[in-house]
Structure 1
Amino acid sequence: MSDRSNAYQYEMAEHQLPAIRSTCELSRKSVSDVSALLYDAARDGDPANMFMRMFYILSAIGQTALALDMQAKALAHRCVFRVTDPRDATLKLLAVAGPGDMRDNTPLDFLIEHADVRLDLLYVALPSCLPPLIPAHDVAFIALSAEDKHRAMLAEIAHMLERWPRPHINHPRNILNCARDRASALLQNIAGLHVPMTVRLHRGAAHQMASASEAEAEGADGAYRFPLTIRPVGAHRGEGLARVDDRRQLAVYLAQNQGVSEFYLSPFVDYRSDDGHYRKWRIALIDGKPFICHLAIGDDWIVHYAHAGMEASAEKRAEEAAAMRHFEIGFAARHRNALAAVAERLALDYVIIDCGETPWSELLFFEADTVGWVHATDPGDIFPYKQPAMQKVFDAFGALLRRKAGSRAMPFD
């Protein structure tokens, strides 16, 4: 145990805070509501709450830069905020979060939308930023992602947990297992699982690869054999993701992405099904058990649910409905051992994986993270089958919270 961790002594107290509108609640509002929401937030007599409410509203409409400015102003006042506070709350959840946009921390409010759980946020930049008394809670959830910018904070939180008064979910050191290169290394040599080896390259090394001979480019283990996928380190949602089939295309890609200093490269795997579609499954691994969150069916190898045309295709929705209805005896049964091994090696209580299936019927791993969007906000008249499937996810998450809290749950005043 480090000397630094010995210096941390944490005590808890109730913080009397009004709840702000969560991202989940705002997602059910329309664009026409924005003006009224901003007006109402501006009238909040608590400056910290006012700015944080504006952060959430502006984030919901895609005004990220302005939203982050509002967040910085809020955090200048305090670092503790209440997101949900149901009258019948029986469990207190504290999210240990970091400054950033909506992709930087686990969106927990979607997981507990109708649960009897109070959610507080504790923003951590450095231990010196913590309040003298941390919010009273039954269990803490480490909400930061594995991005490079969070590594220092995750290291500090790992030390803090050595003197933390309550149980926690997702150890900071294991969150780093979700980094693309680390995850691909951890998950090699699992029966029934195909994980393309991902390497992280500086721009100079990528340029050398683009100008190397074929034998040199393949590398000792063939990890660089074309075709490859390439993306900037730190990019999300397919930003900058491309397939390069040879050294010339790699050189063109590098020329088109001059401002990027590091890249992830992986062998391209054609996982197209016999009908010509690509299928990407989003799976939540909660306490080691798999739960389906969605099945996206697209025409391009870069599949994103929002752009896969699911809402417009009754045929695709029917397939997703069947996949959700029969998940336990279908996909989960086919890949039971591989999914269990992934959960064991990532060593996280809660983690989201995106995956597919290879033409030779293995589970194809794409990525893992702890901040993936898991929700039940799709229109019920179009996606009526999603609510039962997502309720299984939410119930499992609630069970995880209560198992972790155990008999140490604190009474409400």
Structure 2
Amino acid sequence: MRMAYSGIDLAPLGAQLIGRAGADPDTASANTMMDLSIVLQFRGERGLALSAQAQALQIQQIYSPPTASRRVAIRLLAIMAPGDLMANTPLEFLLEDSDVALDILYLGQGLPLPHSLPDHDVLFIAIAESDQNLPLLAEIESAIKSWPRPVLNRPDRIALMSRNAACALLKAVPGVVMPDTVRVGRRILEQISRMELAITSILEDGNFPVVVRPVDSHAGQGLDKINSPAAMADYLLRMPDSEFYVACFVDYRSKDGQFRKYRVVLIEGQPYICHLAISEHWMIHYLNAGMADSAEKRAEEAYFMADFDSSFARRHAETLRVIGERAGLDYLGIDCGETAAGKLLIFEIDSCMIVHAIDPVDVFPYKQPQMRKVFDAFRRMLGHAKQRGVA
């Protein structure tokens, strides 16, 4: 994954993996097919990628990425679900250059819990919340009730990370702005687009504009700001999905007209900044915010990271503490903005946000020490869990 996120051309590797798979894919090794699946996902060939992954998982359910250190201090078993790169916590980034040995166990339909498991010090549930994964999370919650090792990120808490459930969980937290998020079927939105229903029939706290996105979508896929019933009709023509999340749009631009989105992780309740994205557009993703092209934006991000503990984290300390307490996860990601009144505008919370240190060092030199803080905190969390297991 580091190669792909670093912008390295994956075509030669893909060709090599396809060559290894051979004319008869049944003879390919599980590791080859799993690697091929990742390459295909980054090339945008999701269907082929998931097919390669499914074939790999029919061969074996447990995968062991290389460990950076010869001296293994912690053995971590992670439970993941089949799916794309957004389906699970990206642990390989968080454990980069660490002394943690990672074994990944895939569970899902046709992939039961094996009788024999790798020996481990800590179990981490890495599965993302989604409609597809909710039954699996419930099964795992039942299976781990008497687990002999410490468990991080309990499945029953992950199940509360859907956009509407998270809204219900957090909207009353002092210092938080999180507009009501409702889940509605396509038919309701069609009625709104024809003005047979008012938008206030589903959102009591507001009117147009609203933001709409398909259920279980991530990274801005299908996300749009809708300003009128006619715009809703146009949106539905483009989107074939059957269910959507709808929330009132909040204009969170700063005084300079720019929008700023912060990615923060809570590790054992402590906040760490992972990035600040700055854009003229309200829908911000780090890769489309032009951070690499703007020395001014990078300078602001560098200053923000250096000053985070004494400014942003201190200013929102109680709010972040309550968010972590209500979420109930050992490791939690938060995407947020800041309103003109100084409150946290929560876009999303979940356990599977991409957190990494692979931006070019010559362009983003300030990120390496900050991300090392994040990775060290994650490593400490695992160490604390291991200690609880032997106490």
Bucket of the pairwise TM-score, normalised by the shorter protein = over 0.9
- Of 144, 148, 156, the match for 1:165: 148
Query: Once the two structures are aligned, what percentage of the paired residues are identical?
Result: 42
Structure-2 change in CA distance of 1:226 and 1:28 (3 Å): closer
Query: Size of the alignment, in residue pairs?
Result: 386
Query: In the alignment, does 2:287 pair up with 1:306?
Result: yes
Query: Structure 2 CA distance, aligned partners of 1:126 and 1:161?
Result: 18
Query: In the alignment, does 2:17 pair up with 1:38?
Result: yes
* Partner residue, 1:3: none
* Partner residue, 1:92: 75
- Taking structure 1 as the reference length, the TM-score comes to 0.88
Structure-2 change in CA distance of 1:27 and 1:225 (3 Å): closer
8 Å CA contact 1:38–1:57 kept in 2: the answer is: no
Give the residue type in structure 2 aligned to 1:131: P
Structure-2 change in CA distance of 1:116 and 1:207 (3 Å): same
SS of match in other structure, 1:58? helix
* Partner residue, 2:259: 278
* Partner residue, 1:61: 43
The aligned runs of 1:71-110 (5 Å cut-off) are 71-85=53-67, 86-110=69-93
TM-superposition CA deviations, 1:162-210 (whole Å, max 9, x none)? 1322111111110022100000111022221111110000112222333
8 Å CA contact 1:37–1:57 kept in 2: the answer is: no
Query: Structure 1 CA distance, aligned partners of 2:298 and 2:83?
Result: 34
- Of 337, 344, 351, the match for 1:370: 351
8 Å CA contact 2:153–2:331 kept in 1: the answer is: yes
8 Å CA contact 1:198–1:266 kept in 2: the answer is: yes
Per the TM alignment, residue 73 of structure 1 is displaced from its structure 2 partner at its CA by 0.9
SS of match in other structure, 1:75? helix
Structure-2 change in CA distance of 1:138 and 1:400 (3 Å): same
Query: Structure 2 CA distance, aligned partners of 1:394 and 1:386?
Result: 12
8 Å CA contact 2:182–2:203 kept in 1: the answer is: no
TM-superposition CA deviations, 1:256-279 (whole Å, max 9, x none)? 32x211110101000011111100
Residue segments in structure 2 that go unaligned for 5+ positions in a row:
none
TM-superposition CA deviations, 1:310-360 (whole Å, max 9, x none)? 000000000000000000011111111111111111111111110000111
Structure-2 change in CA distance of 1:127 and 1:171 (3 Å): farther
Structure-2 change in CA distance of 1:46 and 1:205 (3 Å): closer
8 Å CA contact 1:127–1:156 kept in 2: the answer is: no
Residue segments in structure 1 that go unaligned for 5+ positions in a row:
1-22
Per the TM alignment, residue 220 of structure 1 is displaced from its structure 2 partner at its CA by 8.2
- Of 87, 109, 112, the match for 1:129: 112
SS of match in other structure, 1:218? helix
Per the TM alignment, residue 134 of structure 1 is displaced from its structure 2 partner at its CA by 1.1
Per the TM alignment, residue 408 of structure 1 is displaced from its structure 2 partner at its CA by 3.7
Query: Structure 2 CA distance, aligned partners of 1:371 and 1:312?
Result: 27
- Taking structure 2 as the reference length, the TM-score comes to 0.93
8 Å CA contact 2:5–2:358 kept in 1: the answer is: yes
SS of match in other structure, 1:88? coil
